[in-house]
Homo-oligomer: A and B are copies of this chain.
Amino acid sequence: MTYESYLAGEPVVVTAALTGGVHGKEANSNLPETPEEIGKAAAAAEAAGAAVVHLHARTPNGERSFATERFQEIDDAVRRYADDVIIQHSTGGTGAPDEDRHLPLRTDPPPEMASLDMGPLNRYDHLTSENTRALVDSLHEEMRERGIKPELEVFNDGHLNEVYGLLERRELADPVYATLIFGGGTLTRPRPRNFLNAIDNLPDGAQFNTLGFGPHQLPFAAMGVVFGGHVRVGLEDNVYYRRGELAESNAQLVERTVRVAEELGREVATPSQARDVLGL
């Protein structure tokens, strides 16, 4: 996937990261937290053009949860309100026991996709999200068994190198689908040059998605469109619509992304088209 894919007008898959597991309504009161809110947000994001919703679960008091039941409630609500959107569960979770990280894969039916963090990164000053190879492999194994497509989350170019290791250790279904992530902390610095460099380091035939945190969400989405990849936006990664103005909804962020993609000449993939593109 490259600029040539852009020139060819290949469809772009928009993922909406609706809620996340870190900040909540204290950061933006429009961020959906309950299954009901997330279900409705998924429907609105789909109507706006998102083909995939990236989901985290929370307990009733808003704290992060890995429980299968929580994900089940959310999925049920998403299916109730949305039409055909692809469900992607996060398996991320700093500091959680490895066993808990598997729980989001065990809904019925399983999600069509699930995230797979490709390596360690700092969270705050005292915590590391470890994501050992052993965990990566066991999560991948369970995804394989349940027919879940992994979304490889690449937070820096060390993680990108770990993708090659994973490909040596295990067989991945085509196409490899990796999200190139840009921001502060232990992430690759959000610069256009670094984005192109990351793309050039992908394994042959891989498809890439991208996300930038905070003020980088919009420009990285635009670059993702022009560089021929897919894009993720949403309140998990960015709570502002523009400097100093909180976003009204996930759908508002998706709508702008769709306007930009279409203005720049790429079709936005429906969930059905996205299934083709991603090999679901």
Contact = CB atoms under 8 A, between A and B. Distances in A.
Interface stretch (A107-115, A141-149, A196-204): A196-204
A191 B185 contact: no
Contacts of A193: 196-197, 200
- State the number of copies, please: 4
A132 B137 contact: no
A120 B130 contact: yes
A223 to B, nearest CB: 6
B264 A259 contact: no
Interface stretch (A26-34, A50-58, A77-85, A151-159): A151-159
Given A120-B120, A185-B161, A128 B125 contact: no
B122 A194 contact: no
Given A157-B189, A263-B256, A134 B130 contact: no
B189 A165 contact: no
A225 to B, nearest CB: 8
A279 interface: no
Q: Which of A7, A137, A158, A190 has the largest count of B CB atoms less than 10 A from its CB?
A: A158
Contacts of A175: none
Contacts of A157: 156-158, 188-189, 194
A216 B120 CA distance: 24
A182 to B, nearest CB: 9
A6 B227 CA distance: 18
Interface in A130-184: 130-134, 137, 155-162, 164-165, 184
A158 B188 contact: yes
A231 to B, nearest CB: 13
A5 to B, nearest CB: 12
Contact of A191 (B9, B201, B225): B201
Contacts of A126: 132-134
Nearest to A124: B133
A252 to B, nearest CB: 13
A59 B261 CA distance: 41
A127 B134 CA distance: 9
B265 A263 contact: no
B227 A192 contact: yes
A191 B242 CA distance: 29
13 contacts: A3-B190, A119-B121, A120-B186, A124-B133, A157-B157, A157-B189, A161-B184, A162-B186, A193-B200, A200-B200, A222-B264, A259-B263, A263-B263
